Structure formats: C-alpha cells, structure tokens
Structure 1
Amino acid sequence: MARSTARVTTDRPARYAKQLAAHMGRKITAEWSEETGRGTLAFGAGRAELVAEEGALLLAVDGEAENLAQLEDVVGRHLVRFGTRDELVVAWQRENGEAGTVQRLTGEEG
C-alpha cells in the first residue's frame, strides 16, 4: 500500500469534510463524525481519511501505487469544486518523497 497526504488551508475544514463525505457517500461508503472531526471514504481502489483541524483539512489516501494518482484526483477535484469561493488548492505529497498531483481552480469549473 502507498500513501499520499495533503494539508488544505481553510477556515472551514469541518464544513468541507462533511460536504465531501456526504457527496461521495452517494456512490461509496463514506463517514463523517462531527464529534471527532474525522471521516473516511472507502473506494474500491483504496481509502481516504479526512481530519478537520484548526485552519486546515488534512487528507490522506491509501491504495496501490498505480491507483494513488486517481485517488488523489477524485478526492482533490471534488474538494476544490466545493471550495470554489475559497479557491482551495490540494497539493499531494507521497510518502516516498515524490510530489503527488495538484488540484486547483482552472477557470473551467463554473
């Protein structure tokens, strides 16, 4: 299993994590806990963890190395779309030291 993480700076980490879990939960198993500020997304190719902390949403995806970019993209792309107003940027860092993918507004979203 390979792992990639991202720290997304935002004043509303719990709001975005809850929205992401609710949206993804229409197609996959997704959980979000207001009490703990933590959630998970279970994909066929891996899983994602969401952690809301003061000033940031921490994301982690775990999966086979060949699926990591796809997991990063799915989680990051949806989050960026929800955070259009705040211009969220998701820059992934792989546990092996490599840079992962980056999701940000491109002007094609609206």
Structure 2
Amino acid sequence: MKASTFFATAHAERYLGTLCKHFGHKVPVTHESGSGRIELPFGQCDLRADDAGLGLTALASDRPTLDKIIQIISSHLDRFAFRENPELTWIITEGAEA
C-alpha cells in the first residue's frame, strides 16, 4: 500500500535532513540533496524536497502498517516543524481497495 502527502514550506530541505538524521540513528536511511528514504522495519517513507515544499510517500504491506508509518513520520515532522504547524492530509494512492 502507498500513501502520499505534501507539506508546503520554504524549509523542505532542512526538514528532510532533520528527519533523515534523526531516524538514521535507529534505522537505515539514505539522504541526498533533495531526497531521502527512511527504512523502518515494517515499511518505508520516501521524501522529496523542492522549492515548493516536502513530499512524503509511505509504503507498507497493509493498511494498519501504513497507518503506523504515517503516524510515526507525521508526529516527527510535527515536532521538527512546530513553528509551521504542518497539517498533513495523507492520500492513499495505491492499494485503497485492500
């Protein structure tokens, strides 16, 4: 299953780096300029930063696991971007019938 969201911010690259650095202490992470991947034991989240904001895509094998990834990533972004109060709307883009 797959779900995506977009956070419009001028600080996308900074938040991408902060998320990758934070999770990199616990799980495998790849981080390059403008993109990153956080590999949780039960799924992953791909991140893309550009001038418009930060795009996040969560991937998991089933809906409860996808919801768990969404909750974890959203709560961390809320903490790191608290000054901007991100309001994320995740949209299931694959596997919605499951």
Considering the TM-score relative to the shorter chain, is it more than 0.5? yes
Instruction: State the identity %.
Output: 23
Q: Is the 8 A contact 1:80 1:87 kept in 2?
A: yes
1:62 Cα deviation from its structure 2 partner: 0.5
2:45 equivalent to 1:63: no
Q: What's the counterpart of residue 84 of structure 1?
A: 82
RMSD: 1.4
2:42 equivalent to 1:45: yes
Higher relative contact order (CA 8 A, sep 6+): 2
TM-score (norm. length: structure 1): 0.81
Q: Is the 8 A contact 2:2 2:95 kept in 1?
A: no
The C-alpha deviation readout for 1:12-65, integer Å capped at 9, x for no partner, is 10000000000011111112112xx11000011111100001221000010112
1:87 Cα deviation from its structure 2 partner: 1.2
Runs of 4+ off more than 6 Å: none
Q: Which runs of 5+ in 1 are unaligned?
A: 99-110
More strand by share: 1
Q: Which runs of 5+ in 2 are unaligned?
A: none
